[in-house]
Chain A
């Protein structure tokens, strides 16, 4: 009764400008922080002179790496068992790295004082191209780590190498393709920042911060800084977009906390746009070589891939501990492939740390891009239609649950149905006919298909943790005497509409209107522990917790209702949102009636407490596996290389849709992201390590002008492992769409013999590809 399209409860404040973001929070006596950053990609710090800054009349404190070293806080652990400098002590390792922190009475003075700090650097050679990171003689970036003589971080593999290689040896057809998924950035509208308030009297630290994982932050602050956890409160107020870039703890957060402890005042630090783009979590930067073995009639037998992963100067990727390449090994995709193998090598470079962000589902983005490009490369080799080739190889509905060659257990799906629906919506055969006509006239039109399978909703806890914290989420539900409810959850919305969706889940389970359910989140003093919102895990994990905690309340309500109806609980049934005696639905008791009775003078059976409250923690038995079929149509101007996305058809299956309107909104955003990545977004660096995308003039976000009117379709295959059959959708479109756009452009360039082109497909890049002279998109254009 509560599922279905419903306006978002949170929109009332957002569209009135009444949201409450971290930068909106103001405390009496609050001071302002600013960070001095490295102009060099790699340099030794010879000296730091802060005397002039300290003499500034409005400066209250200047904190350097040396200050922090005295507190044993100059380095902090990353989410990938590495360490990261909070403020540099020995060297700077990427342009934009944090060197000093100024606390002043206003933001202007803090910024002025940065110019008074004199840092002497001794520049060092930098490692910019990941492909040179392992060269003998390459500068060693992490000489702070004992025994390090090179830039190698890890080697990791998945799948069956011997079986895969054997299939390749016998194969009728093999294809190979090098490709870069370049470094991009989630670029949320709200940058990162923190307001730290350490109360010396109570010993309590309160941190306002746009974090996607407030509870994890609290526990890590306790573990790292030795502060007692019950004296730490993390408040994540409204967040202006996260996309995975607000999972980790950034040096600025630690600086704000230290600044507050040192000055005894609240200290606010908000980074600016350039700081956000230069220093916070980037995404991707995977250099891949994919290979596919197939029969001549288009049956894919094996796939293998080698990846060189650029992790930047500190290995700070946020993903389950066991998986240093995230979920990349889901790269066999949506196809019935006998064997698969991948090898991933992670390296340090003189760039910002990160790698898992931008709605990537722990690198399913890279995996889907790889396999979907490779299928098109194979289609070109075999002279087969790429949709037809996919149809021949898609997993069949009867194969689910399906264990993939790299060990994933896909829960459910009807892949051919989704692809057929997308093709019908697009009018696929007509489009191909139009393309043939246009080609005859010398016009370039392309049709790109991609099919993706996502793996979202981490845990289970036994396989998935972050720094030892299992990936589960809690929920608490209270029903007040008048039947209104408050749900408290551990995940934190960054725009996903949790206050609405989760209210609808509770409403559905309890038979009350969603408007009668308040959802509380983002405050560690107000909500139960859990790992937070990323990897499309809110609905798969917290949504499940919300349903299960509601069912606990419903079970409790049954006992109360039985007392009200003077019947045995065993004789009651739940129907039409009421508990009633079997066969007598007219005398049923609604949740509001039961709630009031629970708190009234009604005599309850011995041992039954008079309330309708419950608590749960949901530890998912498996991931959920949303999927979808996307078709993109582009027109390319051969004279200028400009690409116009004319149409985009997206069929998504994310299981049961709680609020289809929110689902569609999420898909719209993800598709726009995909167009952005495919056509314009990249963080390139020049040979000295200068960041070439440090503002929105250089790092381009797509606008409505670049986006067609999205054409959405849906199939619904409920997840068998999720209590309400939902699968998560937040990242599906970002994962699935870049390949569709790139496949469309490459398809358009077919007459030139083009089989691959790296993102972003800017006009210049397309023109160079057409002329057989592509450039490296991730480096400075020569």
Chain B
């Protein structure tokens, strides 16, 4: 039987309360939301936090999806299943539907949260690539108030994020613009598995040329889950198969996959190119 080590448990009743608890318990405390990464790690004793601050009661503050001031705002406590079912989010950005349909399984999606996924900082995490492609902004709250961090600067390394010890990720904000199409492509060994590789694409086309491209990559060692060189190649060009293939090639060239039991590095690099190309083509078709 897998059993965790001893820990303290506190249930927060507001964001302010959660921040107070984080301050009280210090850096060995961890925030628990869906718990689908943290709890298994605790049961395997790979993680032994001294205290868990449970924020599951904060849906009123952190569980909303809404368009506000030209941005789609997604609360950190929004469950994967809620994002998948949100017409507001998926009509604007079908990339959410593509990605959420292949994240884990329905049981995990019912509990796991958007914020938790990002804060876990797993280098193979799907939504990190999705938000990177969307050029989202993370809103972080601490004792001194809120601050924003571009999501492309949110991840500082594997399992490391911009969220400080006394802080809480509270929201993701995605800029909304007309003429945008988006898509996500993932290869997994089995449904519900972490990706062998995955690519997200967001295209905004104005006057027949690509005004802005966003490419998110996960599980392939892409810095900050994005592919700026490939995006640059696309900017100003008309969308088309040749440009997409070249963007895929460039994206693959700039990532640094490592081999594991999901596949060797050359295969993952190949997937970076192939899935980028496919995601771009699908995104273009959705504009």
Contacts and interface: CB of A to CB of B under 8 A. Distances in A.
A273 interface: yes
A781 B44 contact: no
Interface string A691-722: 01101011011110110000000000000000
A107 B264 contact: no
A684 B261 contact: yes
9 contacts: A111-B45, A272-B2, A700-B193, A703-B191, A764-B264, A780-B259, A781-B261, A782-B259, A782-B264
B274 A764 contact: no
B192 A781 contact: no
Nearest to A692: B261
Interface in B1-20: 1-6
A782 B259 CA distance: 6
Categorize the interface residue count of chain A: 35 or more
Categorize the interface residue count of chain B: 20 to 34
A642 B187 contact: yes
Among B6, B44, B189: residue with most chain A CB under 10 A: B189
Interface string A670-689: 00000000011000100000
B271 interface: yes
Contacts of B267: 641, 763-764, 767-768
A592 to B, nearest CB: 48
Among A270, A701, A767: residue with most chain B CB under 10 A: A767
A735 B207 CA distance: 60
Contact of A781 (B1, B6, B264, B271): B264
A508 interface: no
Given A640-B271, A700-B190, A781-B259, A775 B3 contact: no
A642 B267 CA distance: 12
Nearest to A642: B187
Contacts of B189: 680, 700, 762-763
Contacts, number: 80
A442 interface: no
Contacts of A642: 187
B271 A680 contact: no
A701 B194 CA distance: 14
A698 B187 CA distance: 15
B270 interface: yes
Interface of B: 1-6, 44-45, 105, 187, 189-194, 196, 259-264, 267, 270-271, 274-275, 278
B192 A764 contact: no
A72 B271 CA distance: 57
Contacts of B5: 111-112
A117 B105 CA distance: 38
Interface in A16-53: 23
A639 interface: yes
A272 B4 CA distance: 12
A669 B4 CA distance: 33
Interface string A627-662: 000000000000111100000000000000000000
Nearest to B271: A640
A80 interface: no
Interface string A762-782: 111001100000010000111
A177 interface: no
Contacts of A767: 263, 267, 270
A511 to B, nearest CB: 48
B191 A764 contact: no
A400 interface: no
Contacts of A701: 190
A763 B264 contact: no
Interface in A738-771: 762-764, 767-768
A107 B3 contact: yes
B2 A698 contact: no
Among B3, B259, B267: residue with most chain A CB under 10 A: B267
B245 to A, nearest CB: 11
Contacts of B2: 272-274
Contacts of A705: 190-191
B190 A702 contact: yes
Given A274-B44, A640-B274, A782-B259, A697 B194 contact: yes
Nearest to A686: B261
Interface string A297-333: 0000000000000000000000000000000000000
Interface in A94-111: 107-108, 111
A701 B196 CA distance: 17
Contacts of B278: 639
Contacts of A111: 1, 3, 5, 45
A662 to B, nearest CB: 27
Contacts of A762: 189, 262-263
Nearest to A764: B263
B36 to A, nearest CB: 11
